[in-house]
Amino acid sequence: MSTLAFLSTDATADSRWTPIARSPMQRQQRERGARFETRHGWELAVAFPNESEMLESVGIAELPQFGKLDVRGAGARPSATRCTWYQMTPQRALCITDATITRSVRAELQESARQVVDVSSGLGSVALIGPRAGEFLRRITELESFPASGVVCEVHGHVLTINGGFLLLFPQEYGHYLYEVLLDAAVPFDGGPIGVDGVPRGTIW
């Protein structure tokens, strides 16, 4: 429904301007020495110093550019492969997409779902990657069989499994707080932040 176009960052149209999307964790990322690049309309932290070391334990990768779609009604799942489907209740699902296909998946889902609301801006997404990701997760949530929704770092969130670990989704407005908690919790693990480019191929999809 075009009535909800104002929710999507990719619905930009005025050629005089090039809007940029930023994550609430940017300042902390800059403080950690991240290198930034603009892609898909996003200013992304693509690399951090020493990030390959983090991957030996647990790497924390913020991936804000993913699409997140709130899907209502028992419609068909998307055909694309670079997306994850989380059926929360029989009538409600969350679809996480790679940034390049958010628009097309949204359109596809709108064909059969009762409603598709683009909540990409509303949910932050952070991937926990590495051999100790599971152990690390136990330090921040009681949830244990995934995908699951519940309390993560004292706020409501969702935890999905990915090939290389876990994907955390949480309300964007808690982003700064959550990043602080995650990076602090990673200290005893010698883990830390990794950039978008630091995520090994095949980790997410």
Partner 1 sequence: MVSRLRAREDERIDRGRPVTFTFDGTAVRGFEGDTFGSAMYAEGRRVFSRSFKYHRPRGLVCCAGQCANCMATVDGRPNVRLCVEPIREGADVNGQNVLGSVDRDFLSAVDRFAGPFTPPGFYYKTFIRPRRLWPLYEKLLRNAAGLGKLNPEATREGRFEKEHRSVDVLVVGGGSEGLQAAIEAAQAGSSVALVDDGPEPGGALLLTESGDEPARALANKAREVGVELLCPARAVGVYEGNLVPIEYDNVLIRMRATEIVVAAGVVEQPLVFPGNDLVGVMLPGAASRLVRFWSIKPGERAVVITADDSGARAVETLKAAGVRVAATVDLRATMPETIVASGKKGRVTGVSIDGDSVRCDLVVASGSPQPAHALLSHAGARVDYDAGRGVFVPVEVPDGIRAVGGAAGDVGQPGLPRPSFGGSGSKAKEFVCICEDQTTKDLRYAHAEGYDSIELSKRYTTVTMGPCQGRLCHLNSVRLYAETSGTDESLIGTTTARPPWSPVSLEVLAGRPHEPARRTSMHDRHKKLGATMMWTGEWRRPYAYGDPAAEVRGVHEAVGIIDVSTLGKILVSGRDAATFLERIYPNRFGDMASGRIRYGVLTSDAGRITDDGTIARLADDTFYVTTTSTGAGAVVEWFEWWNAIWGYELDVVNVTGSLAAINVAGPDARALMERLVDIPVDADSFRYLDARQGHVAGVPSLLLRIGFVGELGYEIHFPSVQGEFLLDALVTEGADFGAVPFGLESQRVLRLEKAHILVGQDTDSESNLLEASMPWILKLDKGDFVGRWSAEQVKARGLETRLVGFRLKTDDLPVEGGQIVGDGQPVGRITSVRRSEAADAIIGLAWVPADKAVEGASFEARVDGELIPAEVTLEPFYDPDGERLRS
Residues of this chain that bind partner 1 (CB under 8 A): 1, 3-9, 11-24, 26-27, 42, 64, 70, 72, 114-115, 117-123, 138-139, 141-142, 144, 153-155, 171-177, 180-181, 184-185, 187-188
CB of 201 to partner 1, least distance (A): 26
Nearer to partner 1 by Cβ, of 51 and 169: the residue is 169
Evaluate whether 136 touches 26 at the Cβ level (below 8 Å): no
Whole-angstrom distance, CA of residue 152 vs CA of residue 149: 9
- Residue burial 22-40, b: 16+ Cβ < 10 Å; e: rest: ebbbbebbeebebebeeee
Whole-angstrom distance, CA of residue 42 vs CA of residue 44: 6
Evaluate whether 115 touches 4 at the Cβ level (below 8 Å): no
CB of 188 to partner 1, least distance (A): 7
Nearer to partner 1 by Cβ, of 46 and 181: the residue is 181
CB of 49 to partner 1, least distance (A): 22
Whole-angstrom distance, CA of residue 74 vs CA of residue 114: 8
Evaluate whether 149 touches 88 at the Cβ level (below 8 Å): yes
Nearer to partner 1 by Cβ, of 36 and 177: the residue is 177
Nearer to partner 1 by Cβ, of 23 and 203: the residue is 23
Whole-angstrom distance, CA of residue 196 vs CA of residue 60: 10
CB of 186 to partner 1, least distance (A): 11
Nearer to partner 1 by Cβ, of 156 and 163: the residue is 156
CB of 52 to partner 1, least distance (A): 25
Per-residue tokens: 151: 């309390």
